[in-house]
Amino acid sequence: MELLEEIIALYAQRADWFAGLLASHIALALTAIVISCSIGLLLGVWTAEHPWAAPPVIGLCNVLYTIPAISLLGILIPFSGIGNKTAVIALTIYGVMPMVRNTYVGLTTLDPDILEAARGMGSTRMQTLLRVKLPMAAGVILAGVRNTVVMTISVAGIASFVGAGGLGVAIYRGITIYNPAMTAAGSILIALLAIVCDLALGALERYFKKRGS
């Protein structure tokens, strides 16, 4: 109870500081999310259209996904230095995997009869992809986006260990000066941000799945 009171007092006393960290965290995570979702979507579509490429591509993504976040940040420092650049690269690498996997699964598990009907009506390969496959797989693809968003927001919390901004700064500072309230305050804001985004994308995912069915 005492810790909770300290956290509330900290929010009240340093509201501007936490607001700045929250804005920085959102900007950092959003940059990585946009890049990883774009790369993951294109790579997922390509692997779905070229099945022979799926095992090596998804296998590589799985390997990269198993590398601990703090280790990946350390590996990247000699190449990209410290700061937001390294954090964005690491978060992008983590975010690509869910997008590739869900896009590939969504596009390769569609009803073949519907696809055959589209081709029978004279649709080209590109028209079938854009007008039939992607709309029908939108719900599964959005599940990948949802996983990417939540994971990126969460992992961005350790980006401060390589000099990046965001709410991880509060966590890192709380650890270094042994201030549990500050550490908890930063962690709570990250969790709340992830939960809000997850609920919003979950509702969107259910809408598209219902529409697709």
* pLDDT at site 25: 93
* pLDDT at site 212: 55
Q: What is the pLDDT of residues 86-108, one digit of tens each?
A: 889 989 988 898 899 999 988 88
Answering whether pTM is above 0.75, one says yes
Name the strand (E) or helix (H) holding 132. none
Name the strand (E) or helix (H) holding 100. helix 84-108
Phi/psi of residue 124, nearest 5 degrees:
-75, 175
* pLDDT at site 1: 65
DSSP letter (8 states) at residue 159: G
Smallest CA-to-CA distance from 7 within 194, 197, 187 is with 187
Low-confidence residues in the chain, pLDDT < 70:
1, 122, 209, 211-213
